[in-house]
Amino acid sequence: MTTTDVTRVAGLREVTDRNGRVYRVGESDIDIMGRKRKWMVILPWVGMMGISSAEYAFASAEDTLHEAHQWSSGSIYWMMTAWVFCQAAVAFPAGRLRERGKLPARWAMMLGSAGTLLGYLSLAFAPHVVFAFIGFGVFSGMGAGMVYATCVNMVGKWYPERRGGKTGFVNGGFAYGSVPFVFIFHGYMDGSNFRWVLVSAGVLLAAMVAVAGFYFRDPPKNWWPASVDPLNPPDDPRARRSLAKNPPAVKQYSPMEAWRTGRVALMWFCLACTSGVNIFGIAFQVDIGEEAGFAAGIVAAAMSLKAIVNGTGRGVIGWLSDLYGRKQCLLYVCAILGLAQFGIIWSAEIGNLPLFLFFSAVSGFGGGAIFPMFAALTADYFGENNNATNYGMVYSSKLVSGLGAGMGSVVVGVWGYNGAFSLAGSISIFAGFVALFLHPPGRSKDKRITPNPRPLGEG
């Protein structure tokens, strides 16, 4: 639909609240793209599943890659660190290009698909570890960053009135899409078949990303669903409660304006701490389980359970945040993630498998839930129009937290698993303390808004 076609939609207008924020209302999702907006939840979810195995199942392939290529374990962990670094590094520039109209969502997904395939081909055929670093660590990481940023911001734009649960659901695809590959890489792949397995996985996952991305479509700037009045309490009780607990941003903040509020820096620090703990747990949970004497199959099951709960927890916490508030849920998540690290080392020390599985699941829940919280919180605080760039600034904290795998191997070597997991737990709890200082910029105690409708194009 062209811009001219859009302006012909009956009832299309702009309304302004008392803070001066503009809402474009009167056009439905079908008016804009010819189908229900639920597809902008389903398709991003599929795209996220396509990139999840590169991070969440990578540790399960470590033994086979070491055996097949004779790469050192340290090199493999740093390769994962490079992947996380590049995934985070591309979020801000890709978001900026997206919002300037120079990188359509469809093309961002196609580039992500190409990077995904190249990454798995590099792991299968790289003649030297340096080529794997470039192919998997750099290009696959950058491709995944484009997919991640595009999918998360897409769903937030289409559901501005109750984005928590939808964002959490889409974000969950980044975890539980890896579940079958944890078992395949850990229990089936070996030195005799690793190339066939990796190439097959790469082709399948790249195709998922490409097909999903082909149908992506952004809503217009300032768009608000036609069925929800942005200036008065909506009839839908779910939307009404979500907007009461998580009121929309007072205006559409530019990246520089968002940075000047000081909230971006606080979010950046909290996400750096908690995502670093999450990445550390993903990288070393298999190792600590095997050192505790648990069978390899059980350890793979624990890792799969962690991934399942990690993904499911993102949707659950997103839904809960719509009901009880984003910040309140974030504080609980930081505490849960931190305490779970102490539970893992305790259960491994006493050799208690049920407790090990339980705390692995709890850690997975906390490690996954942090991401949709920050994604939704960024849009809540700064608006949807520049969310790809604003969240890109926050998400760039993974440039530091990605060291959770590489630096984790150094800490484990010096302090052992007990010391490393204890440090990780303490870091997450401290991040929760810092999150206490987060509050929406420009939001006064009086949250009422005054309608001031005007036809589209006036003023």
Tokens of 250: 């007072």
Residue 73 domain boundaries? 24-247+255-439
Whether residue 447 is predicted with pLDDT greater than 60 in this model: the reply is no
Give the list of residues 6+ apart from residue 262 with CB closer than 8 angstroms, or none.
none
Average pLDDT over residues 57-64: 80
Percent of the chain with pLDDT over 90: 33
pLDDT reported for residue 455: 44
Residue 295, burial from CB neighbour count under 10 angstroms (0-12, 13-18, 19+): exposed
DSSP 58: G
* CA–CA distances in Å: residue 342 to residues 77, 292, 346, 361: 23, 15, 6, 13
**61 within some domain:** yes
**6 within some domain:** no
* pLDDT tens by residue, 262-289: 999 999 999 999 988 888 877 777 777 7
pTM across the whole model: 0.78
**209 within some domain:** yes
Could you give the CA distance from residue 449 to residue 270 in angstroms, rounded to a whole number? 31
The string over 137-161, giving b where at least 16 C-beta atoms fall within 10 Å of a residue's C-beta and e elsewhere, is bbbbbbbbbbbbbbbbbbbbbbbbb
* CA–CA distances in Å: residue 178 to residues 120, 203, 306, 355: 14, 15, 11, 23
**145 within some domain:** yes
Tokens of 457: 């194009």
3-state secondary structure of 401: helix
CATH number of the CATH domain containing 85: 1.20.1250.20
The domain total for the chain is 1
**457 within some domain:** no
Could you give the CA distance from residue 75 to residue 195 in angstroms, rounded to a whole number? 19
Of residues 55 and 439, which shows the higher confidence score? 439
Give the confidence band of 205 by pLDDT, cuts at 50, 70, 90: very high
Average pLDDT over residues 116-128: 93
**449 within some domain:** no
> Across the beta sheet with 13-16, what order do the strands follow?
22-25, 13-16, 453-455
* pLDDT tens by residue, 296-352: 667 667 767 777 787 788 888 888 988 888 999 999 999 999 999 999 889 888 888
Strands 453-455 and 13-16: antiparallel
Could you give the CA distance from residue 238 to residue 154 in angstroms, rounded to a whole number? 21
Query: What angle do the packed helices 326-350 and 403-435 form, to 10 degrees?
Result: 130
Residue type at position 12? L
Instruction: Identify the weakest region by mean pLDDT among 61-65, 158-162, 291-295, 435-439.
Output: 291-295
**14 within some domain:** no
Cβ pair 397, 272 in contact under 8 A: yes
